[in-house]
A and B are shown apart, each in its own frame.
Chain A
Amino acid sequence: MSQSASILEQLGQQWQWSAYVLSACFDKAGNLAFALGDGSVRLLPAGADHEPVNLQAHEGAVLSLASAPKTGFLSGGDDGRFLRIDADGTTREIAAFQGRWIDHVASHANGVMACTEGKRLHVYAEKGEPLVREFPSTVGGICLAPNGYRIAVAHYGGVTLCSTRSADSTPVVLKCPGSHLAVTWSPDNRFVISAMQEACLRGWRLEDSDDLVMSGYSAKVKSWAWFNGGRYLATSGSPCAPCWSFKGRKGPKGHEPLTPGESTEALVTAVAGDPRHAILAIGYDNGQVIIAEPQRDQEVVIKPPGNGAITAMSWSADGHWLAFGTDTGFAGRLPVAG
């Protein structure tokens, strides 16, 4: 085996920290943040090539990280605090829930910010009182609609779509027995997909609630990414990265997924896709990261196995950068397109 430097070492940057990296996130301006299990958020402004700035944002672990409405980030921690963090490290507390965990955070460019603690969803608009909704069970995940007017909430028994602007409007309930752990909204606004405890995906076409089942996974789907202009949804949870096609009217119904990144020894734990092109990054539980072109069967290793399981991965909105992190505190950033 050659000991030559990996593509990451040649072209990118890498860091070793001391805690679990649970999320990597680019904001809309290309600033990068990593959230860690020790409560820190590591910030790297767009274009900077120095060591990320260490911001001790939360007291326990950071549990969730998302981009903020314009620039900067939102974070939630097991200290019960919901924070807005600017790229320069300026931090404001949006809310605090004593003794609770902030499990999920999300935002939309229109200014809406949301977080969940236990069974409750809190939605904050630019102005007005926050909206609070309680669900029958703990919220598994949230996702704002592409237009920002609704938010999808995954919970036990299905997914509920609620208005972000009015507490009085009647939510749409998409029922499906079992525990729903995450939810995503297709960029074209036509489908809502949830990930279940039973290692499968369920989906609904919103125009008629026609439902979808995507199964065959060997583990829970914990990472997914819409890429290539929203034509595909790439997923983790298998020895490859199944990519379901949403090009047609019926979505993936009746179509086999593309299966890039097939591995005999490792499980895919994280995916991130180029927003516009059919290019995908795939991270494995053995620490390897590859970039694949699923339609051309081309794959390049950018980081060899080692440094723990890939637990976080993100592709910047402008398509230029890929970032990832592992459960042992290793993290990297790589330029991916010219």
Chain B
Amino acid sequence: MGKVPVTVLTGYLGSGKTTLLNRILCEDHGKRYAVIVNEFGELGIDNDLVVGADEEVFEMNNGCICCTVRGDLIRIISGLMKRIDRFDAIIIETTGLADPAPVAQTFFVDDDVRSKTALDAVVTVADAKHLPVRLGDSPEAAEQVAFADVIILNKIDLIDEQARQSLVARIHAINPYAKIVMANHCDIDLAEVLDLGAFDLERIVSLEPGFLTEEHAHEHDEQVKSLSLTATQPLLPELFDTWISDVLRTDGVNILRCKGILHLLDQPRRYVFQSVHMLANGIFTQPWTNTEPRHSRLVFIGRDLDEARLRAGFEACIQKGSATPGLS
């Protein structure tokens, strides 16, 4: 039996989140959803399996200060698993004020949740007109963007082309691998938000940094920003492992997310890595083909990233004096 996919849908009130949710529930795609809502009864949701969540954020006693989980989600999901024949997928609705990290971390930390479900993607619905203001005045808005796999810029017709470009550049400076979808009334193709496998390491095949990311990363003085590191020479696995563990242990509070596709020395396959704060996992996936360049790319999204130190640490993982990675 496959794992039940879970989509996390975030966004402020009025962003169009409920419109999107109802579209997902009503469209004729043959899938039945269980919906976990933040405030039961507040929203007009057209579904027969709606559960109210209490947004209880718990600390785990695992020596990791930023390791928080949503206790209510653990309880609700294990309850839903007792009638698993009644739905095919789960949607978790959270408000724009909620920290997305505990929701995502729940899917890494809890064995019961992890064995039965898989986080598919974090989808953030934002009001295109209001998002720039929010990014300026609320740290939660930047976190929502930082955690998103897909950002729906809703009510896009309310802003002009120049404002659109500037907003896209700003989002990419925070989160270079978020997919941005422009919409009005959330009139998007649902394939853009469902069944993405954004947390499925097997399905992460490339990490293309966003448009002009590196050059424009400092254009806005964002609290949350991204840092993209690349290497054209293979990394030594033990050095990388030691370094990244150390980075996440010491800076995991500030590093919201990290994703990487790495070429490790003497490994014919890609090593794909991701983390949410201090919680990390990595696996070997597809082999490199003979024609593609074997480059490593690692992207950090976080607050107050010490770029020079991260870059130096990453570069120290490269095998010294190695020849150009060859087509062996």
Contacts and interface: CB of A to CB of B under 8 A. Distances in A.
Interface of A: 18-20, 22, 37-39, 60-63, 78, 99-101, 103, 118-119, 137-138, 156, 177-179, 196-198, 219-220
A16 to B, nearest CB: 15
Interface string B18-56: 000000000000000000000011000000000110101
B259 to A, nearest CB: 27
12 contacts: A20-B83, A62-B82, A63-B79, A101-B51, A101-B76, A103-B79, A137-B58, A137-B71, A138-B54, A138-B56, A178-B60, A179-B71
B159 interface: no
* Secondary structure dominating the interface of A: loop
Interface in B79-125: 79, 81-85, 110-112
Contacts of A62: 82
B206 interface: no
Contacts of A38: 83, 85
A99 B69 CA distance: 24
Contact of A138 (B69, B75, B111): B75
Contact of A179 (B58, B76, B83): B58
A323 to B, nearest CB: 18
A138 B79 CA distance: 14
B74 interface: yes
A191 to B, nearest CB: 21
Top 5 closest pairs, chain A to chain B, by CB: A37-B82, A37-B83, A61-B83, A20-B82, A61-B82
Contacts of A63: 79, 82
Contact of B56 (A39, A156, A196, A198): A156
Nearest to A119: B54
A208 to B, nearest CB: 24
B41 A99 contact: yes
Nearest to A98: B41
A39 B81 CA distance: 13
A177 B71 contact: no
A19 B80 CA distance: 12
B71 A22 contact: no
Given A101-B79, A138-B72, A197-B74, A220 B111 contact: yes
Contacts of B290: none
A220 B112 contact: yes
B324 interface: no
B289 interface: no
Contacts of B69: 197
B60 A198 contact: yes
A219 B56 contact: no
A19 B54 contact: no
Contacts of B54: 118-119, 138
A62 B83 CA distance: 9
A137 B81 contact: no
Nearest to A78: B79
A156 B71 contact: yes
B74 A99 contact: no
A61 B83 CA distance: 6
Contact of A20 (B71, B76, B81, B111): B81
A193 to B, nearest CB: 17
